[in-house]
């Protein structure tokens, strides 16, 4: 007799899901170490395409794109985290007020509007107000759509911290600001880090919106890869992809570990 | 008398943990049988093995003489009232009650009718179209009961169904459950950790501790003649005194108290040597000609009763309960009193 | 939805008022950089197209007419329904709906399986499912394009085993787009269903089995209705991005298998673009999404 949790075949489907999700990534990772210039035939193990990424003919273009991507992601994620933290404080510690639901909707608007529509709307807006598309417009767009991604983990964490901790601090003669800085902020820490990491990855990941508002000449890593792929997949693209894959895995693991640590700070209810 | 459920040497192991160490008991058909024991003693495990949610490690379970080991839970003619009711949140009260009948392919008209009757039985006909979340705890409990009774199981399993209710409701439900058992003629197997609950409703009680059955008997049996130290202490309150048995003869034993005083008490079966003597606090009165000498240490006011915490000669703590009548004279702490044991009040325990 | 704490002592009322201005940056940023642009986009849909991109501020229904009505090449024939764009929408909806269904059929069992593991193993499974979600979507789509090619690893493997002799032309087909959509959005289906199953009270299943339901009856009668909010959330999270997807149809579908995303994108490329038309298509897409969200709000309403 198997328990009510058991359904025959579900394990098999789970494994199929994982295979579907991982198979293409693994193939690309393996082929990135291919010594051959042809992407079809296996010519033995080599790191030549990784060397090519940093020294080859496209190295400068990709280097610049990477610089743009990373600086934009750093700034956008940081500003979005600050804005989202302020919003979470007001939404969760501010009680129910008129416009609460509308604000909630506004924060989540970037998630509900299809990406392509956000892209179109943003481009039209910048064009109407006469802002030249380029680094700045990409940055502004990224800050906007990163806010809900930063907001989610921060708000979840904050609503798990009961107000009585701050109340206890206030009871022990802390000012409002001290209660925030000494009690709430440290407790909120893991949420802030997760929010920031999520926003960072989302910014680094974005292609559609960036592609619309970047203007000619400016590239981020995804738009550069896209442009290159349009002319056929070359081995150096696979090396770049594998590097980005590694960075993503590193980030998830980091955010996962931080969350685990945060969870074990026992004073917080789940 | 037919045996509805017969459990033979049931053992349940979860990896290294043994939840049941060879439990055997017979439950008579059309009776109200209670498993009583502290939390963690294996009551739920036993119930879930009968329902079919846990596999039995060793031993067997017979339902009206037939082994049910190979039957999936949905083929066992037993129904359960779950501890937190487990009402289906997306179904109305009526649909909840009719669910078992639907799964047994009873036609819609009949199942509506039968579900309606069941709701009448638990006095909830007016709420049949409500959702479970719109009911109070007591009402949910009744729906769970009606739902489990509707398919007319051979045995109804109830896992601490009253524990989430407040005291008043709990007391009312005790009487009602017993009535319902008598009206339906279905065998009830009831699980509780509350001895008062067990004593008031049950035809027979199995007292369990640490995965073993300690004693099976009527409420009177287990209260009046506890077979061992655990049962004596778990059922009601008792005073345990370490004594030396010097002679055993015809259901009686001569013992020596720590004070050095001798006493004759009742004993089912005993050997010589060191044993525990059990004396219920309400089977003792204050009397100038009493056989035990004690000093009052503290008087606890408990409403209908008073509890005197005393110390016997020889240093044993001993509590006494007296009715709080108008005429009761309450001794002051520090006074010397004498206590008289009622006939048969002192019982030698066997373990 | 993460709501405000409700039980709040009255002394906190002032605190509540102090923190509310903290919403200002959010309103300012999302308000000006997204809400206002979306409204402006709606206006653009009714403006006149100017050559070389851009618009003239003259109101017209031309964009919507172009979408729905065909008056022939020179605009002098009797009006007929224009099927080109409706077909693209139809194909997109169909592809997105199919992807949603297939993601559900794969994602539900996976979510259930993961949520019923012991806590330690559960986090490992969950971790495995979430990693692809964090990997750049472009890279994932490119990987798929790489393995689906005529002489890519998939075809080579199939030929090597001897199942086929000539490569299957999978790339640049509807099938490739479908595979791409499933591959892109499958984690979006698994995660909300997982969250719902994790909260599911398994005693309900036991109660159903106790009342003579079979395993599969328990699934359809109890489990699915109870975790429905999670299923609906997952369906929305897959359907909406799939409907407006750009990368999967563009990189895997080729020129023939246009979806809404590519149609919109095309309107903003260089001098062949048509901004009002692109805005109009976006408005129609957004209307569809709103309908889907409204349906979700209905479906997710818990039995009360
Ligand atoms: N699934 C399980 N895995 C491991 N141990 C269990 C499991 N279920 C119950 N136990 C153990 O079995 C013993 C009996 O539990 P239970 O039957 O629930 O007790 P009761 O219902 O009397 O409180 C307990 O020690 C408990 O920890
Ligand atoms: Mg129990």
The three-state (H, E, C) secondary structure of chain C, written as one string: CCCCCCCCCHHHHHHHHHHHHHHHHHHHHHHHHHHHHHHHHHHHCCEEECCCCCEEEEECCHHHHHHHEECCCCCCCCCEECHHHHHHHHHHHHHHHHHHHHHHHHHHHHHHHHHCCCHHHHHHHHHHHHHHHHCCHHHHHHHHHHHHCCCCHHHHHHHHHCCCCCCCCCCCCHHHHHHHHHHHHHHHHHHHHHHHHHHCCCHHHHHHHHCCCCHHHHHHHHHHHHHHHHHHHHHHHHHHHHHCCCHHHHHHHCCCCCCHHHHHHHCCCHHHCCHHHHHHHHHHHHHHHHHHHHHHHHHHCCCC
Averaged pLDDT for residues A227-241: 87
Determine the average pLDDT of the residues in A100-111. 91
Q: Which residue CA neighbors atom 27 of ligand 1 most closely?
A: B40
**Structure confidence at residue C8 (pLDDT):** 44
Residue C19 placed within a domain: no
The alpha carbon of residue B90 is apart from the nearest alpha carbon of chain A, in Å, by 19
Give domain status of residue C181, yes or no.
yes
Instruction: Please report the atom of ligand 1 found closest to the CA of residue B35.
Output: 22
Q: Is the CB of B16 under 6 A from ligand 1?
A: no
The answer to whether C87 contacts chain B (CB < 8 Å) is no
Query: CB neighbours (10 Å) of residue A7?
Result: 19
CA dihedral A13, A17, A20, A22 (to 10 degrees): -130
- Residue C10: its pLDDT value, please? 46
- Asked if residue C9 has pLDDT above 70, the reply is no
- For residues B119 and C303, which has the higher predicted lDDT (pLDDT)? B119
Q: Do B73 and A3 touch (CB under 8 A)?
A: no
Share the mean pLDDT of chain A: 88
What pLDDT is attached to residue C300? 60
pLDDT reading at A123 higher than 90: yes
Model pLDDT, residue B97: 95
If pLDDT is split at 50, 70 and 90, which confidence band does C101 have? very high
In 3D space, the residue among C267, C37, C50, C51 whose CA is nearest the CA of residue A131 turns out to be C37
Q: Say which ligand is closest to the CA of B208.
A: 1
Q: How many CB pairs under 8 A join A and C?
A: 282
What ligand 1 atom has the least distance to the C-alpha of B45?
17
How many domains does chain C divide into? 1
What is the domain extent for residue C114?
Answer: 84-267
| Cross-chain residue pair B80–C213, CB shorter than 8 Å | no
**How is residue A71 written in tokens?**
């600086």
Chain A residue nearest residue B72, CA to CA: A1
Please report the pLDDT score of residue A235 as a whole number: 86
B190 vs B209: CA distance, rounded Å: 16
Read off the pLDDT band of A181 (50, 70, 90): confident
pLDDT at res. C301: 60
Reduce the secondary structure of chain A to three states and give it as a string: CCCCCCCCCHHHHHHHHHHHHHHHHHHHHHHCCECCCCCCCCCCECCHHHHHHHHCCCHHHHHHHHHHHHHHHHHHHHHHHHHHHHHHHHHHHCCCCCCHHHHHHHHHHHHHCCHHHHHHHHHHHHHHHCCCCCHHHHHHHHHHHHHHHHHHHHHHHHHHCCCHHHHHHHHCCCCHHHHHHHHHHHHHHHHHHHHHHHHHHHHHHCCHHHHHHCCCCCCCHHHHHHHHHHCCCCHHHHHHHHHHHHHHHHHHHHHHHHHHHHHHCCCCCC
Q: In the prediction, which pLDDT does B51 show?
A: 93
Q: 3-class SS at B144?
A: helix
Helix, strand, or coil here: B157? strand
Distance B225 CA to ligand 1 centre (A): 29
Residue A172 has pLDDT above 70, yes or no: yes
B152-167 per-residue burial string, b: 16 or more CB within 10 A, e: under 16:
bbebbbbbbbbeebee
**pLDDT at res. B30:** 94
Which sign, positive or negative, has the C-alpha torsion B6, B10, B14, B19? positive
- Quick check: C299 pLDDT over 50? yes
CB spacing of A238 vs C202 below 8 angstroms: no
Residue C298, both tokens: 């209905």
**Is C248 part of any domain?**
yes
Q: Determine contact: B53 vs chain C, CB below 8 A.
A: yes
Dist. CA C184–CA A115, nearest whole Å: 14
Residues C249, C246: Cα–Cα separation, whole Å: 6
Query: Which whole number is the average pLDDT over C15-40?
Result: 90
B133: closest chain C residue by CA = C304
Residues pairing with B21 in the sheet:
B11
Residue that is written with structure tokens 């059990």 in the block = B278
How far is ligand 1, taken at its centre, from the CA of residue B322, in Å? 39
Facing C246 at nearest CB: one of A201, A208, A252: A208
pLDDT at C7: 46
C-alpha of residue C196 to centroid of ligand 2, in Å? 26
Query: What residue in B sits closest to C207 (Cα-Cα)?
Result: B86
Ligand 1 binding pocket includes B42 (Cβ within 6 Å): yes
- Closest Cα to atom 18, ligand 1: which residue? B44
Ligand 1 atom, smallest distance to B159 CA = 21
pLDDT at residue number A41: 76
- pLDDT at residue C13 greater than cutoff 70: no
Nearest-Cα residue of chain B relative to residue C209 = B74
Q: What single DSSP character describes residue B269?
A: S
Per-residue pLDDT band at A265 (split at 50, 70, 90): low
Residue ranges, chain B, pLDDT below 70:
269-270, 351
Check which CATH number belongs to the domain holding C190 and give it: 1.10.3720.10
The answer to whether A210 and A222 have CB atoms below 8 angstroms apart is yes
Minimal C-alpha gap between A235 and chain C (Å): 11
Residue (of A95, A188, A82, A92) closest to C28 by Cα position? A82
User: What local confidence, expressed as pLDDT, does residue C29 receive?
Assistant: 95
Question: 3-state SS of B68-88?
Answer: CCCCCHHHCCEEEECCCCCCC
Please give the ipTM for the structure prediction: 0.87
pLDDT band at residue A264 using 50, 70 and 90 as cut-offs: low
Structural domain includes residue C190: yes
pLDDT at C12: 58
pLDDT average, residue stretch A174-192: 85
Check whether A269 has a pLDDT greater than 70.
no
The predicted model scores a pTM of 0.85
| Shortest Cα distance, chain C CAs vs residue B130, angstroms | 9
Q: Does residue C273 sit within a domain?
A: no
B67 Cα distance to chain centroid: 26
B100 min Cα distance to partner chain A (Å): 17
pLDDT averaged over chain C? 87
Residue C260: inside a domain, yes or no? Answer: yes
Burial class (CB in 10 A: 0-12, 13-18, 19+), B5: buried
Q: How confident is the model at residue C218 (pLDDT cuts 50, 70, 90)?
A: very high
Residue C295's pLDDT is 84
- pLDDT score for A72: 97
According to the model, what pLDDT value does residue A262 have? 63
Of A20, A112, A124, the CB nearest to C183: A20
Q: What is the pLDDT of residues C62-76, one digit of tens each?
A: 889 888 888 877 878
C56 within domain boundaries:
no
Would you say A145 and A209 are in contact if contact means Cβ atoms under 8 Å apart? yes
Interface check for C232 against chain B (CB to CB < 8 A): the answer is no
Nearest residue CA, atom 8 of ligand 1? B45
pLDDT at B96: 95
Nearest CA to ligand 1 atom 11: B19
**Average pLDDT, stretch C146-175?**
86
pLDDT, residue A267, reads: 42
Give pLDDT, residue A268.
44
> pLDDT tens, A33-80?
988 877 777 788 888 889 988 888 888 899 999 999 999 999 999 999
- Does the beta carbon of B17 sit less than 6 angstroms from any atom of ligand 1? yes
Q: Rounded CA gap, A9 and C215, in Å?
A: 13
Q: pLDDT band at residue C6, thresholds of 50, 70 and 90?
A: very low
- Residue C108 is assigned to a structural domain of this protein: yes
Q: Is it the case that residue C224 has pLDDT exceeding 70? A: yes
Determine whether the interchain pair C213/B99 forms a contact, defined as Cβ–Cβ distance below 8 Å.
Answer: yes
Q: Which residue is closest to B49 within chain A, CA to CA?
A: A1
């Amino acid at each position: 007799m198997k328990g009510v949790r058991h359904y025959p075949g579900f394990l098999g489907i789970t494994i199929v899901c994982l295979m579907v999700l991982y198979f293409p990534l693994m193939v690309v990772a393996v082929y990135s170490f291919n010594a051959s210039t042809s992407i079809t035939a296996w010519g033995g193990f080599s790191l030549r395409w990784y060397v090519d990424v940093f020294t080859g003919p496209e190295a400068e273009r990709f280097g610049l794109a990477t610089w743009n991507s990373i600086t934009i992601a750093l700034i956008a994620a940081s500003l979005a985290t600050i804005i989202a933290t302020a919003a979470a404080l007001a939404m969760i510690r501010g009680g129910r007020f008129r416009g609460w639901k509308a604000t909630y909707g506004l924060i989540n608007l970037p998630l509900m509007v299809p990406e392509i529509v956000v892209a179109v709307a943003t481009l039209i807006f910048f064009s109407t107000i006469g802002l030249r598309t380029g680094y700045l417009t990409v940055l502004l767009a990224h800050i906007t759509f990163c806010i809900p991604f930063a907001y989610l983990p921060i708000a979840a964490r904050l609503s798990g911290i009961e107000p009585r901790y701050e109340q206890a601090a206030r009871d022990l003669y802390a000012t409002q600001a001290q209660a925030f800085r000494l009690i709430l902020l440290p407790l909120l820490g893991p949420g802030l880090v997760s929010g920031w990491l999520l926003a960072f990855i989302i910014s680094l990941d974005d292609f559609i919106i960036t592609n619309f508002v970047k203007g000619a000449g400016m590239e981020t890593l995804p738009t550069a890869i896209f442009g290159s792929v349009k002319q056929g997949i070359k081995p150096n693209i696979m090396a770049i992809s594998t590097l980005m894959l590694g960075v993503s895995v590193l980030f998830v693991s980091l955010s996962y570990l931080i969350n685990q640590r945060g969870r074990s700070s026992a004073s917080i209810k789940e | 008398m037919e045996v509805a459920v017969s459990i033979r040497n049931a053992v349940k192991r979860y990896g290294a943990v043994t939840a049941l160490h060879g439990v055997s008991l017979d439950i008579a058909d059309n009776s109200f049988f209670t498993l009583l024991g502290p939390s963690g003693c294996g009551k739920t495990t036993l119930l879930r093995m009968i329902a079919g949610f846990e596999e039995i490690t060793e031993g067997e379970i017979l339902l009206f003489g037939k082994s049910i080991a190979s039957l999936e839970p949905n083929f066992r003619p037993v129904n359960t009232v779950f501890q937190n009711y487990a009402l289906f949140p997306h179904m109305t009260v009526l649909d909840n009650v009719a669910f078992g009948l639907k799964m047994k392919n009873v036609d819609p008209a009949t199942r509506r009718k039968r579900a309606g009757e069941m709701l009448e039985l638990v006095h909830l006909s007016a709420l049949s179209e409500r959702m479970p979340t719109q009911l109070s705890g007591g009402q949910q409990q009744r729906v769970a009961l009606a739902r489990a009774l509707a398919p007319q199981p051979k045995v109804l399993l109830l896992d601490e169904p009253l524990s989430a209710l407040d005291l008043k409701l709990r007391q009312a439900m005790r009487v009602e459950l017993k009535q319902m058992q008598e009206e339906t003629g279905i065998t009830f197997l009831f699980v509780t950790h509350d001895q008062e609950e067990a004593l008031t409703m049950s035809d027979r009680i199995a007292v369990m501790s640490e995965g073993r059955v300690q004693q099976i008997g009527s409420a009177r049996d287990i209260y009046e003649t506890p077979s061992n130290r655990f049962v004596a202490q778990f059922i009601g309150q008792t005073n345990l005194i370490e004594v030396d048995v010097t002679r055993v003869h015809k259901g009686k034993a001569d013992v020596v108290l720590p004070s050095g005083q001798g006493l004759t008490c009742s004993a089912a079966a005993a050997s010589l040597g060191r044993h525990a003597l059990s004396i219920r606090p309400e089977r003792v009165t204050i009397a100038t000609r009493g056989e035990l000498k004690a000093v009052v240490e503290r008087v606890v006011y408990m409403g209908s009763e008073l509890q005197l915490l005393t110390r016997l000669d020889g240093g044993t703590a001993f509590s006494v309960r007296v009715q709080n009548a108008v005429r009761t004279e309450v001794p002051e702490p520090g006074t010397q009193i004498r206590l008289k044991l009622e006939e048969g009040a002192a019982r030698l325990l066997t373990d | 939805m993460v709501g405000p704490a409700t039980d709040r002592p009255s002394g906190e009322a002032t605190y509540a008022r102090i923190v509310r201005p903290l919403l200002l940056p959010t309103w300012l940023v999302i308000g000006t950089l997204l809400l206002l642009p979306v409204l402006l986009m709606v206006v653009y849909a009714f403006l006149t197209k100017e050559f070389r991109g851009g618009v003239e501020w003259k109101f017209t229904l031309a964009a919507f007419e172009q979408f729905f009505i065909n008056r022939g090449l020179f605009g002098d024939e009797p009006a007929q329904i224009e099927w080109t764009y409706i077909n693209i929408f139809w194909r997109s909806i169909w592809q997105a709906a199919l992807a949603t269904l297939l993601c559900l059929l794969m994602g539900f069992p996976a979510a259930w399986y993961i949520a019923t593991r012991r806590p330690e193993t559960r986090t490992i499974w969950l971790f495995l499912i979430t990693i692809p979600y964090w990997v750049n979507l472009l890279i994932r789509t490119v990987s798929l394009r790489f393995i689906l090619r005529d002489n890519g690893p998939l075809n080579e493997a199939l030929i090597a085993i001897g199942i086929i002799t000539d490569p299957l032309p999978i790339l640049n087909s509807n099938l490739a787009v479908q595979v791409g959509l499933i591959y892109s959005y499958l984690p979006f289906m698994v995660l909300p269903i997982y969250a719902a199953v994790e909260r599911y009270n398994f005693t309900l299943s036991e109660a159903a089995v106790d009342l003579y339901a079979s395993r599969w009856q328990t699934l359809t009668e109890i489990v699915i209705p109870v975790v429905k909010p999670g299923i609906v959330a997952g369906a929305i999270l897959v359907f909406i991005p799939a409907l407006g997807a750009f990368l999967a149809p563009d990189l895997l579908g080729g020129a023939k298998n246009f979806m809404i995303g590519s149609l919109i994108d095309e309107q903003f490329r260089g001098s062949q673009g048509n901004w009002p038309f692109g805005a109009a298509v976006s408005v129609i897409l957004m209307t569809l999404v709103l309908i889907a969200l409204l349906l979700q709000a209905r479906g997710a309403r818990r039995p009360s």
